[in-house]
Chain A
Amino acid sequence: MMVPVEIDERLIEKHGITPEEYARIKSILGREPNFTELGIFSVMWSEHCSYKNSKPVLKLFPTEGSKILVKAGQENAGAVDIGKGQAVVFKIESHNHPSAVEPFQGAATGVGGILRDIFTMGARPILLMDSLRFGRLESPSTKHLFSGVISGIAHYGNCMGIPTVGGEIYFDDAYEGNPLVNVLALGIIEHKKLVKGAAKGEGNPVYYVGAATGRDGLGGASFASRELTEESHEDRPAVQVGDPFLEKLLMEACLELIETGAVVGMQDMGAAGLTCSTCETAARGNAGIEIDLQLVPRRETGMIPYEVMLSESQERMLIIVQDSKRRTVEQIFDKWDLHAVPIGHVKSGSKMIVRDGEETVADIPAKALTDEGPVYHRELKEPEYYEEAKHFNVENVSIPRNMGNVLKQLLSSLSIASKEWVYEQYDHMVKTDTVLLPGHDAALVRVKGRRIGIAVSTDCNGLYTYLDPYEGGKHAVAEAARNVVCSGAKPVAITNCLNFGSPMKPEIFWQFRRAVEGMRDACLKFHTPVTGGNVSFYNESPSGTVYPTPVVGMVGILDDIEHRIPSFFQKPGDEIFLMGRTGNDLGATQYLAVVHGIKSGVVPVLDLEREALLHEFMLAAGRESLLASAHDVSDGGLAVALAECLFGVRGKPLGAYLNLTELKETGIRADAILFGETASRVLVSVEPKKQKKLERLANQAGIECYHIGRVTEEQLRIDKYIHELSLELEMLYRSAIRKAMGE
């Protein structure tokens, strides 16, 4: 790259900087910025790094809680106390744009990036989850994206030896050309070992460790901050290339170094690479920092300072260590055959000074980049479709005659069908802690040496959130919490990844604001503060804007792993109960979408009060070991949930015999009983001798409790509506994705 002679309007615009922002840069510096500085401001003030458009709305989230050790926004990820001096550190992040352009590397480096966020705090990552959205799998381009993303995640996670224990996947036209790839990582650490991303102690050396710097990923943060266009493929150099083996070495070396107590501060080089890590550590440490780019290990020749500062080459970290511990650093990184080069030091003052040998190429107050960026209060406008959807009259939808066929259609629809084609490609058992394997409502891992388990679930119904962002936001939090509760664990905190279109469009920003308000209300009700996450705007492609998709990653704690609850029925003879009332809720259902081709209607209203009561009841029932299984009723409604409960042992499904008289008496349509998605419901099975106790407990808790049937063998018989062989249903459910992929 050549250094341009002059910084003109065109160049400024190309950097995504507005004339007002440029004026602000000039007033901060007291002069015109040079080319390198312009690049630095452009990435640090991009939406991806600065949250300039989302900040005022994100402030709505509750972030306080008695168990919160590191709050949202303070560090690279949030930390929550899990007792006995231990904490979990977790976060979810998007890698949507890179994955749209180069699915394998885009997804792989998404995994790499989120893992660095975890071990940069000193925590050892123990699990990964993925929340993915694609267009319709029928199209060859979606097949390419889907298989590329899955193998990219598998490639990186498997090699790192960190189990990918679950997640969720939806296929919908709304994501055509703009897939969502959100990756959650969770790590575990002793409180006293938590590392801050701060530069402190004048004179302490600043080490560059890990991979050498190349031109890959140049300006990735800015790339992520605009819409995808037909020309986005030309941005392929903005996608980084990942090397999981190198990251494994980097992780082991960093964790080993932290054990020695030599580390003052650590920060990974993710978005905006060296730029972000230097100015953020300086700003957090209330210090200055100075680095010399000539000392930075490189893998390409002729790189100019601008490129070195903006490169997003993977598997690199910045570590500030005590001056007396230089040898320790070098010995450890030598053991792992990695670069560890002192490229600068902590200074007094508050400036980030970048030199290229003798020449100073950037001289900027660090906090101007991190804390003093522009903040925008974007315009809001309720979109027209919002009211229209509410007036959709479900009375005009005909009730199908053959409900068995409807069930089969739903079980083999790709958003509902088994995701085993996906999770079998992930090593989900390495570390030997995965107690509930993928396929259950929540993933559950044990903590060796303790009785507790950690449950995690990611959830979001994009269609709900599109039709009613406020309700959709509530649902995302509530369903994630319900899934965690179904495993027996108590929800403690969330991380979120907010995937939306362009914030410049008032209708989109309205979706964003309303969804966040819904999430906030649910988080407050469940006492699950937000510990951090990520905002991904500009999820638009030539075929349109994605559904607003605020993915929630809920973390819960189970006091005793022996009290875990599986999602599947356990044995014939157990009694089946539906907890929670069923309404006439057909709006926005998978049933309407798949069977009738309608994506409209009133989103099932979520009563937070009832939902919270349900959680308390479930946790109490779990503590008393009343439940043989628990599965939440969501996509596809009661009939789909019932069928899913049968598939615990591959090839040997159980059966169930259901009598829905009690539900029918409420005057609800048959298709709403079977496939409606009324919120706040859980399907449980109990041993006959525990039945009375369960009913009593439900009664005390004020939870409706319908005894709807019994676990049997071989056949699913739902009242007079459905009578099918379980094995046939299981085959459809398990093979749908495999078939769609042409295998």
Chain B
Amino acid sequence: MNAVVVVFPGSNCDADCFHALSEVMGSRVKFVWHKERDLPKTDVVVLPGGFSYGDYLRTGAIARFSPIMSEVRRHAEKDRPVVGICNGFQILLEAGLLPGAMLRNRSLKFSCKFVHIQVANNQTMFTKAYRKHQILKMPIAHGEGNYFCDHDTLKELREKGRIAFRYVTENGEATDRANPNGSMDNIAGIFNERKNILGMMPHPERASEGVLSSTDGQGIWESLAECVGV
């Protein structure tokens, strides 16, 4: 699989995504600087976590104007996969590639810890490798991960299988206690309509090696590799 990791000036999970994809999963990975206007030939585009532009305004609010974003959009229009993790998810929301918005965590504090999420739809190019309703252990690390959208959007996300992951207890209950940031419907990740864009707050690249106490994130990379045929 060929993958591109986009680097914004304040990206800080770019090297982690690169490592998980190349060293752990054996993909061919390239960094692409956000000021570039061309995207090298690639199967997958990853928008990594971080603080793209310091995020003093709103997370991801300025990154969407980066030159590379129009190429990312074009890549997605060809039904090719784009995954935005954490700040990458926030950028996808700001760019209008995914619906809804992020609010500050209801605790009003940054929160870094392992949580449990459940695969809500395992029939997509990002989640095929997972079992139906599989429960995954993955870390979150964000101050604004409280997903919000209007009622109609939520209805559509639910009905069209566009919710990718939900925060759950270890036993798979989507309770309020299991919700680390106040996200609507315990949403941890969503797809676009054609399900070739995934935005998620948890960090699969931090859960791709045994030494980091979870390998549950590997399923995303494996699903993509299977889907693109290498």
Instruction: List A residues at the B interface (Cβ < 8 Å).
Output: 151, 154, 158-161, 243-246, 248-249, 252, 335-337, 423-432, 434-435, 437, 446, 448, 561
Q: Does A561 contact B9, Cβ atoms closer than 8 Å? A: no
* Beta-carbon contact of B54 and A159 below 8 Å: yes
Q: How far is the CB of B214 from chain A (nearest CB, A)?
A: 11
B230 contacts the other chain (CB 8 A): no
Cross-chain contact of B13 among A151, A336, A425, A430 (Cβ < 8 A): A430
User: Which residues of chain A come closer than 8 Å to B12, judged between CB atoms?
Assistant: 159-161, 248, 430
Return the 9 tightest CB-CB contacts between A and B, nearest first.
Answer: A161-B12, A245-B54, A432-B16, A159-B51, A427-B141, A427-B112, A425-B110, A154-B110, A424-B113
For the complex, give the distance between the alpha carbons of A507 and B46 in Å.
60
With known contacts A245-B56, A248-B10, A446-B211, A431–B111 Cβ distance under 8 A:
no
Contact of B19 among A244, A432, A437 (CB under 8 A): A432
B166 interfacial contact with A, CB 8 Å: no
Whether A429 lies near B112 (C-beta < 8 A) is yes
**B111 engages A425 (CB within 8 Å):** yes
Residues on the B chain within 8 Å of A446, using CB = 211
Interface positions, chain B 38-74, Cβ under 8 Å from A, are 49-51, 53-56
- Kindly state the separation between the CA atoms of A448 and B12 in the bound complex, as whole angstroms: 16
Contact with A along B90-116 (1 / 0, CB 8 A): 000000000000000000011111000
B140 CB, nearest partner CB in chain A, Å? 10
CB of A688 to closest CB in B, whole Å: 25
* Docked complex Cα distance between A561 and B53 (Å): 35
CB < 8 Å A-B pair total? 88
> B29: which A residues are within 8 A, CB to CB?
none
Q: A249-B9, A446-B211 are in contact. Are A429 and B51 (CB under 8 A)?
A: no
Min CB–CB distance B161 → chain A (angstroms): 30
Measured between beta carbons, the chain B residues less than 8 angstroms from A335 are 33, 35
**In the complex, what's the smallest C-beta–C-beta distance from B48 to chain A, in angstroms?**
10
Closest Cβ of chain B: how far from A47's Cβ, in Å? 34
Known A-B contacts A161-B50, A435-B211; A429 and B111 likewise in contact (beta carbons under 8 Å): no
Q: Which residues in A have their C-beta under 8 angstroms from that of B185? A: none
Residue of B nearest to A743 (CB): B107
In the complex formed, the residue of B with least CB distance to A437 is B213
**Interface mask (B162-191 → A, CB under 8 Å = 1, otherwise 0):** 000000000000000000000000000000
B residues 102-146 with Cβ under 8 Å of A?
109-113, 139, 141, 143
Given A248-B10, A429-B206, residue A561 in contact with residue B54 (CB < 8 A): no
Return the contact of B10 from the options A151, A245, A425, A431 (Cβ within 8 A). Answer: A245
B5 within 8 A of A: no
Contact yes or no, A429 B10, CB < 8 A: no
Taking a contact as CB atoms under 8 Å apart, the answer to whether B112 and A426 are in contact is: yes
* Chain A residues near B213 (CB-CB < 8 A): 437
Is B149's beta carbon under 8 Å from chain A? no
> What would 11 more interface pairs be, CB under 8 Å, given A161-B51, A432-B19, A437-B213?
A154-B109, A245-B10, A245-B55, A248-B9, A423-B112, A426-B112, A429-B139, A429-B203, A432-B205, A432-B212, A435-B211
Q: B53 contacts A245, CB within 8 Å?
A: yes
B20 at the interface (CB under 8 A from A): yes
Find out whether the CB atom of B112 lies under 8 angstroms from the CB atom of A425. yes
A244 proximity list for chain B (CB < 8 A): 51, 54
> With a CB–CB cut-off of 8 A, which chain B residues contact A429?
112, 139, 141, 203, 206, 212
Contact status B209-A424, CB under 8 Å? no
Closest to A421 in B: B109
Chain A hits for B141, CB < 8 A: 158, 427, 429-430
B228 on the interface (CB 8 Å rule)?
A: no
Instruction: Please indicate the chain A residues that have their CB under 8 angstroms from the CB of B109 in the complex.
Output: 151, 154, 424-425
Q: CA A561 – CA B139 in complex, angstroms?
A: 21
Instruction: Give Cα distance in the complex from A434 to B50, angstroms.
Output: 17
Give CA–CA (A363, B70) in the complex, Å: 54
Whether B19 pairs with A435 at a CB distance below 8 angstroms is no
Whether A161 touches B111, Cβ cut-off 8 Å, given contacts A243-B54, A432-B20, A435-B212, is no
Which residues from A are CB-within-8-Å of B11? Answer: 161
Q: State whether A431 and B54 are in contact (beta carbons under 8 Å apart), knowing that A424-B112, A425-B109, A425-B111 are contacts in the complex.
A: no
Distance A151 CA – B143 CA, assembled complex (angstroms): 11
Q: Are B13 and A245 in contact (CB under 8 A)?
A: no
CB nearest to B17 among chain A residues: A432
A54 CA / B211 CA spacing, docked (Å): 43
- A561 contacts B211, C-beta separation under 8 Å: yes
Contacts of A423 in B (CB 8 A): 112
User: Are A424 and B111 in touch, CB under 8 angstroms?
Assistant: yes
B50 contact set on A, CB distance < 8 A? 161
Q: Give the docked Cα–Cα distance between A158 and B9 (Å).
A: 14
**What are 25 contact pairs spanning A and B, CB under 8 A?**
A151-B110, A158-B112, A158-B141, A158-B143, A161-B11, A244-B51, A245-B51, A245-B53, A245-B55, A245-B56, A246-B54, A252-B9, A335-B35, A336-B9, A423-B112, A424-B109, A424-B111, A425-B111, A426-B112, A427-B110, A429-B212, A430-B206, A431-B15, A432-B206, A448-B23
Of chain A, the residue at the smallest CB distance from B15 is A431
Q: In the complex, how many angstroms separate the beta carbon of A504 from the nearest chain B beta carbon?
A: 41
Within 8 A of A (CB), among B194-225: 203, 205-206, 208-209, 211-213
CB < 8 Å neighbour of B110 from A158, A252, A337, A432: A158
The residue of chain B having its C-beta at the shortest distance from the C-beta of A651 within the complex is B170
Q: Which residues of A contact B33 (CB under 8 A)?
A: 335
Q: Which of B18-34 contact A (CB under 8 A)?
A: 19-20, 23, 33
Q: In the docked arrangement, what's the CA distance between A161 and B86, Å?
A: 13
Nearest Cβ in chain A — how far from B142, in angstroms? Answer: 9
Alpha-carbon gap, A336 to B109, bound state (A) = 29
Q: Is the CB of A337 within 8 A of B10?
A: no
Shortest C-beta distance, A326 to chain B (Å), equals: 22
For residue A243, give the distance in angstroms from its CB to the closest CB of chain B: 7
Q: How many Å lie between the Cα of A333 and that of B10 in the bound state?
A: 15
Report chain A residues within 8 Å CB of B211: 435, 446, 561
Chain A minimum-CB-distance residue to B139: A429
Give the chain A neighbours of B56 by CB distance below 8 A: 245
Residues of chain B contacted by A252 (CB below 8 angstroms):
9
The smallest C-beta distance from A16 to any residue of chain B, in angstroms, reads 36
Chain A residues within 8 Å of B203, by CB:
429
Q: Which residues of B contact A435 (CB under 8 A)?
A: 211-212
Name the residue of chain B whose CB is nearest to the CB of A164: B112
Complexed CA–CA distance, A265 and B85 (Å): 38
